[in-house]
Chain A
Amino acid sequence: MAAEVTAAAHTSDVSEISREELLRRLHDSSLTIVDVLPQASYVEAHIPRAINIPLEQIQIRARELLPDFAAEIAVYCGKFT
């Protein structure tokens, strides 16, 4: 299990989520939405229900704000990652 996760991390094999699915599941609490943009951008506009963890703070704050490693998490930033 762990090795698989690590392997996934190395191939950076992360699945995508489409806008339609995101829109459909906007009220689905099993999907966590994370905004990795700076706080200023988050304050201006963000996808409803998204939580804000600016990229540079991810190392420090991810564990605290996203305690469940297995949870489905949708991540987005400005345009293309």
Chain B
Amino acid sequence: MLHELGYSNLRVYRGGIADWVESGSPTESVTDTPPPEPEPDPHATIPIGPPLVDSPNGVVGRGPAVLSRMGRLDKSMLDLVQQRSTLQLFLLWIGTILLSGFCFWLGALMGEHGLVEAGRPIGAGLTGFGSALYFSFVTATSIGYGDIVPIGGARVIAVVEAIAALLIFGAVVAKFVSHRQDQLVSEIHRITFEDQLDRIETNLHMVISELLSITAMTETKAPLNRITTRLESSVILFSGELRTTRDLLYQPRLMVEEGVLAAILATLASAMNVLAELLALLPPEFSRSQPLTITLDRLTVLAEEICGECVPHTYTPRLVFWMDQIQATAKRIK
């Protein structure tokens, strides 16, 4: 479960929700539906009955509820913006304007609550509809020329529309701008990640050459204490890189190119081999120091976790081959 993903400070509540409820402790439940979309609010009530008087009440009635869960609403609003694409938000904005324009036109049909142009109510025909749309755009973009003015209930729609359109348009702009920023962030992540991969490989090469020179030292019967210190340091470096590779295989955060991963795994396998040969070559009087023993134990545990079947993802046969090599060598060292 979670601890396999690397969480170190886990506590399990064995009683679970059943025990919790039985003990009468407080629980919460999710009763609130997703946040009301900003635009249907003012207009949803329009087509029924005497709508334009109703709509402000609807908005006011929602007031306290909105206040009391402001935090959650805030968050879900953010989520809403987060999940929609720029285009969707933009279409929402356009939709708001069109819907409001339609409502202005409906209001105009009813006479009292419509729009007035140069002292005369706009007509009910196509021209009237065009004027209503025009007024809606002028209001939503907060231009407000004033050549057409709302009267009665249309004022309420105009105010609500202006606010909603402003908010939505703000979201569109924010989304558009942050898109570039997201790209930059992911680019930075990628570069750091590639650096990390390069570092693993370089370090592994260092480990191999160091191990090889220790092997040469052993063959020439160099003093054992010098061997121990050099072996300790290179084994520590080795196990560090092994751990990074293991994490990479278990929790890939970014896609690693197969070729890069294969190179790392192959280097790792060959380093394991060199280490195994060196350990076998060490004279019997060589006693492993405590740090060396501990690091070697860690190293073998980590290496044994690298195999085609133990990693939680499927990799290409080439990678699986190297992984299995690593595990086999680890078993040999043990």
Given A6-B302, A46-B27, A59-B312, do A78 and B13 touch, yes or no (CB 8 Å)?
no
Contact status A48-B4, CB under 8 Å: no
Given the complex, which residues of A lie within 8 Å of B301, measured CB to CB? 3, 6-7
Report which residue of B7, B12, B21, B312 has the largest number of chain A beta carbons within 10 angstroms of its beta carbon: B7
* Proximity string of chain B (294-310) to chain A, C-beta cutoff 8 Å, 1 when within and 0 when not: 00011001100100000
Residue of B nearest to A68 (CB): B7
- A14, A19, A36, A46: the one contacting B3 at CB < 8 Å is A14
Q: How many positions in chain A have a CB within 8 Å of any CB in the partner chain?
A: 49
Given the complex, which residues of B lie within 8 Å of A63, measured CB to CB? 5, 251, 253
Contact status B11-A47, CB under 8 Å: no
Contact status B7-A41, CB under 8 Å: no
Contact status B9-A70, CB under 8 Å: yes
Residue of A nearest to B9 (CB): A72
Given A19-B13, A77-B17, A80-B16, do A62 and B2 touch, yes or no (CB 8 Å)?
yes
Residue of B nearest to A4 (CB): B8
- B1, B8, B13: the one contacting A5 at CB < 8 Å is B8
Report which residue of B6, B16, B21, B305 has the largest number of chain A beta carbons within 10 angstroms of its beta carbon: B16
Whether B26 sits at the interface, judged by CB under 8 Å, is: yes
* Proximity string of chain A (49-73) to chain B, C-beta cutoff 8 Å, 1 when within and 0 when not: 1100001001100110010011111
* Proximity string of chain B (56-77) to chain A, C-beta cutoff 8 Å, 1 when within and 0 when not: 0000000000000000000000
- B12, B18, B305: the one contacting A14 at CB < 8 Å is B12
Given A6-B301, A73-B2, do A46 and B9 touch, yes or no (CB 8 Å)?
no
CB within 8 Å of B: which A1-27 residues: 2-3, 5-9, 12, 14-19, 22-23
* Proximity string of chain B (200-212) to chain A, C-beta cutoff 8 Å, 1 when within and 0 when not: 0000000000000
- A18, A46, A58: the one contacting B28 at CB < 8 Å is A46
Report which residue of A2, A3, A70 has the largest number of chain B beta carbons within 10 angstroms of its beta carbon: A2
Q: How many positions in chain B have a CB within 8 Å of any CB in the partner chain?
A: 39
Given the complex, which residues of A lie within 8 Å of B253, measured CB to CB? 63
- Whole-angstrom distance from the CB of A40 to the nearest CB of chain B? 10
Given A41-B17, A43-B29, do A69 and B10 touch, yes or no (CB 8 Å)?
no
A22 to B26, CA, bound (A): 12
Given the complex, which residues of B lie within 8 Å of A44, measured CB to CB? 29
- Whole-angstrom distance from the CB of A1 to the nearest CB of chain B? 8
Whether B180 sits at the interface, judged by CB under 8 Å, is: no
A78 to B29, CA, bound (A): 15
- Whole-angstrom distance from the CB of A76 to the nearest CB of chain B? 4
A35 to B307, CA, bound (A): 32
* Proximity string of chain A (23-42) to chain B, C-beta cutoff 8 Å, 1 when within and 0 when not: 10000000000111100011
Contact status A43-B30, CB under 8 Å: yes
- Whole-angstrom distance from the CB of A22 to the nearest CB of chain B? 6
Whether B25 sits at the interface, judged by CB under 8 Å, is: yes
Given A42-B30, A75-B2, do A66 and B17 touch, yes or no (CB 8 Å)?
no
A71 to B237, CA, bound (A): 27
A–B pairs, 27, beta carbons within 8 Å: A3-B301, A8-B8, A14-B11, A15-B12, A16-B14, A17-B11, A18-B13, A19-B19, A23-B25, A43-B30, A47-B17, A48-B26, A50-B28, A55-B1, A59-B5, A63-B253, A66-B7, A75-B1, A75-B10, A75-B11, A75-B13, A76-B15, A76-B20, A77-B16, A79-B16, A79-B18, A80-B14
The 7 closest A-B pairs by CB, nearest first: A17-B11, A3-B298, A76-B13, A45-B27, A43-B30, A72-B9, A79-B18
